[in-house]
Amino acid sequence: MTVRSIHTTHKDPPLPEEACLVDQAKSGDHEAFAKLYDAYVERVSRYIFFRVAEDGDMEDLVSQVFLKAWENLDRYKAGGSPFIAWLYTIARNLVIDHYRTKKNTLPLEEALNLPSEMELPDEEAQMHFDLDAMRDSLQVLSKDQQQVLVLKYIVGLPNESIAKIMNKQEGTIRGLQMRGLQTLAKHMREKELI
């Protein structure tokens, strides 16, 4: 099976009891917040990975995202943006702070597992290459294009949420997505990555 023939639907299903868990966590319920952590830790980790390049201290940054969410939970209004979008906002601010301080971090390979479709050793090695290459290639895009592609493909947000986060129209988001993909594809082809 090649990449060309894979049907890719990677949307994470919404957490049905999210609002209830948020309410319980606001009341100081550790277990309720731990369930929110379990539901969103992978998406937050991917975002951190793709935004912090090879120096990202995954463990520290991911735990900081959730700790800040815990401490500031009263600021989150259930019924507005999805909880993951709020987590992303926290993560983005932490990444900005991270780049300001330039912390030394763990290598990526210690933190990430491979996608379930790439469990064979050869494909596993190839996927490591793909992840690193993709993260490096994203740097050739504009900030807005990077943000749209990471939020859409890595965090898994719908265009509607991305538009709200970036304070832009959904049509603008689609345009940034297509131009970003074109630029990224050109770069990866030049690097013989695809």
Partner 1 sequence: MTEFEKVLQECLHDLEQGASNVDECLHRHPQHARQLEPILLTSTYLERAGKARPSTAFKGRVRTKLIQQMRAHPRQPARSGFMFMRFAAGLAAVLLVLLTAGTVYAQGALPGEAFYAWKLASENVWRAVSPDPIKTDLAIAERRVAELILVSNDPILYAPALDAYLEVADRLRSEVNAENEARIQSVLDAQINELNQLGIVLPNLEEEDPAVLDESTLSPASISTATSHPILETSPINPTDLSQTTPTIQAPPETVPTVEIPQEIIPTIPEPPKIAPTIEIPPPIP
CA within 13 Å, CB half, 140? 16
Asked if residue 165 binds partner 1 (CB under 8 A), the reply is no
Asked if residue 50 binds partner 1 (CB under 8 A), the reply is yes
Asked if residue 3 binds partner 1 (CB under 8 A), the reply is yes
Asked if residue 164 binds partner 1 (CB under 8 A), the reply is no
Residue whose structure tokens are 């494909």? 123
Asked if residue 186 binds partner 1 (CB under 8 A), the reply is yes
Distance separating the N- and C-terminal Cα atoms of the chain:
16
Determine contact, residues 40/83, Cβ cutoff 8 Å: yes
Asked if residue 30 binds partner 1 (CB under 8 A), the reply is yes
CA distances from 135 to 17, 51, 67, 81, 82 (A): 33, 8, 26, 27, 25
Asked if residue 91 binds partner 1 (CB under 8 A), the reply is no
Asked if residue 34 binds partner 1 (CB under 8 A), the reply is yes
Q: Shortest approach of partner 1 to residue 30 CB, angstroms?
A: 5
Site residues for partner 1, 138-157, by CB under 8 A, read 149, 153-156
Cα–chain center distance at 70 = 19
Nearest to 12 by CA among 58, 57, 45: 45
Residue 140 or 166: the one with the smaller Cβ distance to partner 1 is 140
What is the distance between the alpha carbons of residues 13 and 150, in angstroms, rounded to a whole number? 18
Asked if residue 53 binds partner 1 (CB under 8 A), the reply is no
What is the distance between the alpha carbons of residues 133 and 38, in angstroms, rounded to a whole number? 28
Asked if residue 162 binds partner 1 (CB under 8 A), the reply is no
* Site for partner 1, rule CB under 8 A: 3-10, 23, 25-28, 30, 33-34, 37-38, 41-42, 45-46, 49-50, 58-59, 62-63, 66-67, 70-71, 73-74, 110-118, 127, 130-131, 134, 149, 153-156, 174, 177-178, 181-182, 184-186, 188-189, 194
